[in-house]
Amino acid sequence: MDLISKVRNRQRLTQAEGEALYDLDLFTLGELADEIRQEKHGKKSFFNVNRHINPTNVCADICKFCAYSASRKNPNQYTMDHEQILQIATQAVANGAKELHIVSAHNPNDGVEWYMGAFRKIKEKFPEVHIKAMTAAEIDFLHREYGLSYDEVLDMMIENGVDSMPGGGAEIFDEKIREYLCKGKVTSDQWLEIHRKWHERGRESNATMLFGHVETRAHRIDHMLRLRDLQDKTGGFNAFIPLVYQKENNFLKVENFPTGQEILKTYAISRILLDNIPHIKAYWATSTINLALIAQEFGADDLDGTIEKESIQSAAGAASAQGMKLEDFVAMIQNAGFIPVERDSLYHELKVYT
Ligand code: V47
């Protein structure tokens, strides 16, 4: 059976077939991905009202692609205390945020209680707010730095009010590329193990893939298939998020950046391959809002959220330092021909903008 028929019959694709998808023209791929998207979600496009908080940029690890962590290229170290974090959370909740997405660098100075206490204090003050926090890379860092097992860190997160885990730290699973990008950080197997353990606790998470740097198309397919395998076992991933590499202020030497076509193909292919992950998120901070809006026609059904402020990608050149106004966000999705749906962090529908 040819590849297109296989996709139309909803048959699972192999690594080689996944790679071959890239050889299809963009519009064929878009059509195939859109059929699947519409089957799953119709014309709905999901987003949430959220606030990203990045409480420290002091990092014990070195990732070549990172412009955020304090280093020679970013000498301005900062670490917020709990009071400052709580202040931001308070402001965000006052502005309508229902989710706080809290991701830090790997800070060796302040201990486990600095991480956990922040979650606990937020949750005590705002029990209804959803805390999406701690990438698998941070969890692995606490394990390495303080001798805690993954189970212990995950249980502490739950005790202190973390509701779900973000998908960060996955980068690219291929071991050679990963060693070049971020040697010493959580390995691919460990990243998957941490998410598996989290899912086994009945909790949900997301999965990212950082692409458009030194990886090949084959590496992207391999990354997606490793996620598909784990999802078959646990079913705990809500969304797959292809993050487009931002090139400013970091130590990674990249010659060729992905074209808009390549980015759209990657969204579409992820929709086709990841038949068991419900949502494909076009995170506008890295794709740009315009491409994210177009990505809705190429398999993506989620645009993340209003963000309010973001420090990791914007340090590397993304236009996401400031977030997006809710009414603008809704209007843009509508004008693109889709139905904006405000969701909570676990994809329950809160408001459908008809
Ligand atoms: O893991 C770092 C990435 C990630 C760069 O789960 C970069 O809903 C592009 O994981 N160019 C953190 N990306 C952000 C993240 C995330 C974002 C939005 C939603 C969710 C979710 C998760 O940021 C890191 C890393 O892959 N990153 N540097 C850069 N130069």
CATH number of the domain at 313, please.
Answer: 3.20.20.70
- pLDDT score at 310: 76
In this structure, the chain runs to a length of 354
- pLDDT score at 319: 75
Residue list, ligand 1 pocket, CB within 6 Å: 65-67, 103, 166-169, 171, 206, 208, 210, 241, 243, 245-246, 250, 283, 286, 304, 312-313, 316
Q: Which of 99, 132, 210, 309 to mutate to test the pocket of ligand 1 (most atoms within 8 A of CB)?
A: 210
Question: Which atom of ligand 1 is the closest one to the Cα of 246?
Answer: 11
Nearest CA to ligand 1 atom 2: 66
Question: Which atom of ligand 1 is the closest one to the Cα of 317?
Answer: 30
Q: Mean pLDDT, consecutive 10-residue segments, the chain of 354 residues?
A: 95 98 98 98 96 93 90 84 97 94 92 96 98 98 97 98 98 98 96 98 98 97 98 98 93 90 98 98 93 98 86 80 87 97 96 94
Nearest CA to ligand 1 atom 6: 166
Distance, CA 330 to ligand 1 centroid (Å)?
23
Is 42 among the domain residues? yes
Task: State both tokens at 323.
Answer: 């977030």
Question: Which atom of ligand 1 is the closest one to the Cα of 65?
Answer: 30
Distance, CA 50 to ligand 1 centroid (Å)?
15
Angle of the 26-41 helix axis to the 260-273 helix axis, nearest 10: 40
Distance, CA 222 to ligand 1 centroid (Å)?
19
CA distances from 288 to 130, 131, 320, 344 (A): 26, 25, 9, 23
From CA 123, how far away is CA 316, in angstroms rounded? Answer: 31
Is 7 among the domain residues? no
From CA 336, how far away is CA 44, in angstroms rounded? Answer: 11
Is 30 among the domain residues? yes
Angle of the 136-146 helix axis to the 111-125 helix axis, nearest 10: 130
Is 65 among the domain residues? yes
Domain that holds residue 73: 13-337
Nearest CA to ligand 1 atom 14: 168
Is 135 among the domain residues? yes
Instruction: Give the total number of structural domains in the chain.
Output: 1
E strands in the chain: 44-48, 50-53, 99-102, 130-133, 205-211, 237-244, 279-280, 302-305, 339-343, 349-352
Q: Which of 223, 263, 312 to mutate to test the pocket of ligand 1 (most atoms within 8 A of CB)?
A: 312
Question: Which atom of ligand 1 is the closest one to the Cα of 210?
Answer: 26
- pLDDT score at 308: 77
**pTM (2 d.p.):** 0.97
CA distances from 246 to 75, 174, 253, 276 (A): 19, 20, 12, 28
Is 251 among the domain residues? yes
Q: Which of 215, 313, 347 to mutate to test the pocket of ligand 1 (most atoms within 8 A of CB)?
A: 313
Contact status, residue 25 vs residue 235, Cβ threshold 8 Å: no
Q: Is 301 exposed, middle or buried (0-12, 13-18, 19+ CB in 10 A)?
A: buried
Distance, CA 68 to ligand 1 centroid (Å)?
11
Contact status, residue 37 vs residue 46, Cβ threshold 8 Å: no
Task: State both tokens at 240.
Answer: 């797959």
Distance, CA 151 to ligand 1 centroid (Å)?
24
| Cα dihedral across residues 27, 33, 34, 36: positive or negative | positive
- pLDDT score at 305: 86
Is 2 among the domain residues? no
From CA 216, how far away is CA 59, in angstroms rounded? Answer: 28
- pLDDT score at 71: 74
Task: State both tokens at 63.
Answer: 């990732």
Contact status, residue 29 vs residue 299, Cβ threshold 8 Å: no
Is 120 among the domain residues? yes
The residue among 253, 257, 229, 223 whose CA lies nearest residue 241 is 223
Contact status, residue 13 vs residue 21, Cβ threshold 8 Å: yes
- pLDDT score at 83: 97
256: helix, coil or strand?
coil
Q: What is the separation of C-alpha 57 from the centre of its chain, rounded to a whole number of angstroms?
A: 18
Nearest CA to ligand 1 atom 21: 166
Question: Which atom of ligand 1 is the closest one to the Cα of 168?
Answer: 10
